[in-house]
Amino acid sequence: MTSENRQALMDGFRDGVPIGLGYFVVGFSLGIVAKYVGLSPLQGFVISLLNNASAGEYAAFTVIKSDAPYLEIALLTFIANARYVLMSTVLSQKFSPDTPFYHRIFVGFDVTDEIFGITVARGGRWLNPFYNYGAMLTALPGWSLGTACGIVAWYFFSEAAVSALSVALYGMFLAVIIPPARKEKIIGGAVAVSFLLSWLAEKFFPEISAGNRTIALTILIAGAAAILFPVKEDDDDA
């Protein structure tokens, strides 16, 4: 390994430590839900290692809970993770033509909001994949071991504690959506409409599974917002 790559690996590891610690907590909260829908610690570890995405995994758990067709988990995972298409295309522009192709696969393996964020924040014309690998060294174990621990925790915690912990993930979702909803009127409106329609859909169409409800409402509401309020260039991307 060249000294430049070794330095990038260490930088990534350093910047990844706080991410990995945070991921352990998010993974743990996911594990609480995973156990509820019937995953074993090993299954929780594997899905978290391969997905590393809170919305995507939670979405998958809702499908597993309702024992819905495999097609539904494919569609819902696609919708819940669609935003990574943007991040992945941005990263594709930051690969030097000299960087071997296989690095694109490994960097793509762990595109997350946080790792994307520190990769872009590091600056420079080209990214060094070893920086991403350094961050992944803490992010992936933090997330997947956290999930396994969340599942195991069920055996030790009281019913009251599990009930309390089961809202942790929703709290995290609120912390992601509410601040931008306050800042940007259109996001705020979209979130309010989402709450309302989601509640109405569950009330009046209980036969539609949670997964299909999320797919249909996301396409409907995000699609309407995109057509009515297109985002100007350079307005997003993080």
Partner 1 sequence: MTHDIWIYILVASAVTLAIKILPLTLIRGEIKNVTIRSFLHYVPYVTLAVMTFPAIIDATQSQISGALALVAGILAAWFGASLFKVALLCCSVVFVTELFL
Residues in 67-126 at the binding interface with partner 1, rule: CB under 8 A: 67-70, 73-74, 77-86, 88-93, 95, 101, 104-105, 107-111
Nearer Cβ to partner 1 (39/148): 39
Compute the least distance from the CB of residue 114 to partner 1, in Å: 11
Compute the least distance from the CB of residue 216 to partner 1, in Å: 9
Whose structure tokens read 């309010």?
192
Cα 1 from Cα 225, distance rounded (Å):
48
Residues in 4-63 at the binding interface with partner 1, rule: CB under 8 A: 22, 25, 29, 38-39, 43, 46-47, 50-51, 53, 55-60, 62-63
Cα 55 from Cα 173, distance rounded (Å):
8
Does residue 145 bind partner 1 (CB under 8 A)? Answer: no
Residues in 191-230 at the binding interface with partner 1, rule: CB under 8 A: 191, 194-195, 197-199, 202, 210, 213-214, 217-218, 221-223, 225-227, 229-230
- 213-217: long-range contacts, CB 8 A cutoff, minimum separation 24: 214/59, 214/62, 214/76, 214/79, 214/80, 215/72, 215/75, 215/76, 215/79
Q: Which amino acid is at 7?
A: Q
8 exposure class (CB count in 10 Å sphere: 0-12, 13-18, 19+): buried
Is there a contact between 94 and 127 (Cβ–Cβ < 8 Å)?
Answer: yes
Compute the least distance from the CB of residue 131 to partner 1, in Å: 15
Nearer Cβ to partner 1 (91/148): 91
Residues in 157-186 at the binding interface with partner 1, rule: CB under 8 A: 159-161, 163-182, 186
